[in-house]
C-alpha cells in the first residue's frame, strides 16, 4: 500500500500550517488566500481529500458541494455585501495547482486582467 502526502489544505485542517481561518464546520474550512488576487480572496475547502475537482465533488457528494456554496455565500455576505465570484479551477491547464477541490471567493477590487468572462 502506498502512502500519499497530505495536501497543503489537509495540513491547514490539521493545523500543521497556519492560516487565517474565517469559517469552519465539521466538513468545511475557509481561510484567506496567502496570495490574494482581490480585496476579498478566501478559499473554501472540504476537509476531505477524497475529491480533486468540483465535478468529482458534485457527483460524489452533492450535499457537500451545496454546503460549500452556502458557506461561500455567507462569507460573501459578511465581506462584500453578497457580491462575489466563485471560481473552481479543474485541471492543471485550468490553473489548478492543489488537487484537493476548493473554491475561490473573489470580491471587491479584482484589478485589471482578472475580469475575464464578465
Question: What pLDDT does residue 52 have?
Answer: 97
Secondary structure (DSSP) of 49-87: -S-SSHHHHHHH-HHHHHHHHHHHHHHHHHHHTT--EEE
Number of separate domains in the chain: 1
Task: For residue 53, tell me if it sits in a domain.
Answer: yes
User: Which structural domain range is residue 65 located in?
Assistant: 8-107
pLDDT (tens digit per residue) in 67-82: 999 999 999 999 999 9
Task: For residue 73, tell me if it sits in a domain.
Answer: yes
Instruction: Say what the pTM is.
Output: 0.89
The rounded mean pLDDT for the chain is: 91
pLDDT (tens digit per residue) in 44-69: 999 999 999 999 999 999 999 999 99
Residue 55: Cβ within 10 Å count? 14
Q: What is the CATH number of the domain that holds 74?
A: 3.30.428.10
Report d(CA 105, CA 5) in Å as an integer.
26
User: Active-site residues: which are they?
Assistant: 102
Per-residue cell: 98: 492543489
Amino acid at each position: 500500500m502506498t502512502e500519499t502526502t497530505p495536501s497543503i489544505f489537509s495540513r491547514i485542517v490539521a493545523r500543521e500550517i497556519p492560516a487565517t481561518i474565517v469559517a469552519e464546520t465539521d466538513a468545511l474550512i475557509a481561510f484567506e488566500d496567502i496570495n490574494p488576487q482581490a480585496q476579498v480572496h478566501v478559499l473554501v475547502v472540504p476537509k476531505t481529500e477524497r475529491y480533486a475537482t468540483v465535478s468529482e465533488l458534485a457527483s460524489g457528494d452533492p450535499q457537500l458541494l451545496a454546503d460549500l456554496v452556502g458557506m461561500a455565500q455567507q462569507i460573501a455576505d459578511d465581506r462584500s455585501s453578497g457580491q462575489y465570484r466563485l471560481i473552481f479551477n479543474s485541471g492543471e491547464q485550468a490553473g489548478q495547482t492543489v488537487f484537493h477541490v476548493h473554491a475561490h471567493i473573489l470580491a471587491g477590487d479584482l484589478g485589471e486582467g482578472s475580469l475575464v468572462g464578465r
